[in-house]
Structure 1
Amino acid sequence: MKEVEITSRLVVYDDADELPEHIRILMQKAVEARKKAYAPYSRFKVGAALLLDNEEVVIGSNQENASYPSGLCAERVAVFQAGALYPEVKIRAIAISAASDNRTVLTPIPPCGACRQSLAEYEVKQSEFIELYFMGEAGKVVKSLSVKDLLPLLFDKSNL
């Protein structure tokens, strides 16, 4: 038997004002997207903004459905839209912001498992890391240098 330790490295900013300017602007676009979320059931709104290699920004917001599995998270809305519009363009960074109609969200909210797996697909496809920045509606922002820091044992095409 052998024990294996897996570690992740994250950077924590005290607030969005500490972010590099281009990422601060990207986060603002995620906040704007969050405000357009359709979340009548959970009342939990998420916005995502992707920065592509061609300098385009693609946004997404969570879209709920009365049949819960039919809804989609903001991160997947954005990444699938980027894949549809710019299939050969690499994703450099994603900014994510979450808020609730029921309480103030000051804790950074990372992507869910399904979104991590979807983002991992694009990171593997492009053979370059995607930086992730995530926050609540205010407060600390967490930066991950790669999807692999959030999903270290990812399932990808090499497993098929």
Structure 2
Amino acid sequence: MKKHKITIDYTVYPSLQDLDATDSSLMNQAIAARANAYAPYSNFHVGAAVLLANGEVVIGNNQENASYPSGLCAERVAIFQAGAKYPGIAIKAVAITATSKNYVVEEPAAPCGNCRQSMIEYEQKQKSAIAILLMGEKGEVIKIKSLADILPLAFSNSFLE
């Protein structure tokens, strides 16, 4: 028997103001996208912004539907739109932010399992890391260097060959 341990390194910034200009701009675009989320059932609004290698930013927000679970998370809206609009252009970073009409979201909200799996496929395909920035409504911002850090032992297309 072999025992293995998985650990990740990430950086915590006290606030949005402590980010560099590129990350701050990306998170601000995610915040703007969050404002247009369609979340009448959960009242949980999520915005995402995807930074591409060509400098373009693609946004997304969660889109709910009365027929749960047919809605779509902000992260997948943004990353799928980036893939559709800019095929073959590498993704550098994804900023994700969340708020609620029911309470103040003070902790960074991480992507769900479906979003992690969807995003990791882009990282695997482009063979380069995609950084992730996570923020609640206010407060700390977490920066993770790679999607692989939050989805270790990820499923990939190699299992389908």
Which TM-score applies when normalising by structure 2?
Answer: 0.98
Match of 2:117 in 1: 117
Matches within 5 A, 1:4-19: 4-19=4-19
What whole-Å deviation, never above 9, does each CA across 1:51-73 have from its counterpart, x for those lacking one? Answer: 00110000000000001121000
1:73 and 1:36 map into 2 onto residues whose CA distance is 13
Instruction: Name the count of aligned residue pairs.
Output: 160
Describe the SS at the equivalent of 1:70. coil
1:57 and 1:19 map into 2 onto residues whose CA distance is 17
1:95 and 1:17 map into 2 onto residues whose CA distance is 15
Alignment pair present for 1:128 and 2:128? yes
Instruction: Give unmatched runs, 5+ long, in structure 2.
Output: none
Alignment pair present for 1:157 and 2:157? yes
Alignment pair present for 1:52 and 2:52? yes
1:16 and 1:153 map into 2 onto residues whose CA distance is 31
**Superposition deviation, residue 132 in structure 1:** 0.2
**Superposition deviation, residue 150 in structure 1:** 0.5
Alignment pair present for 1:95 and 2:95? yes
**Superposition deviation, residue 29 in structure 1:** 0.3
**Superposition deviation, residue 120 in structure 1:** 0.2
Match of 2:38 in 1: 38
The one-letter code sitting in structure 1 at the alignment partner of 2:19 is: L
Identity %: 57
Which TM-score applies when normalising by structure 1?
Answer: 0.99
Deviating 4+ runs (over 3 angstroms): none
1:71 and 1:28 map into 2 onto residues whose CA distance is 24
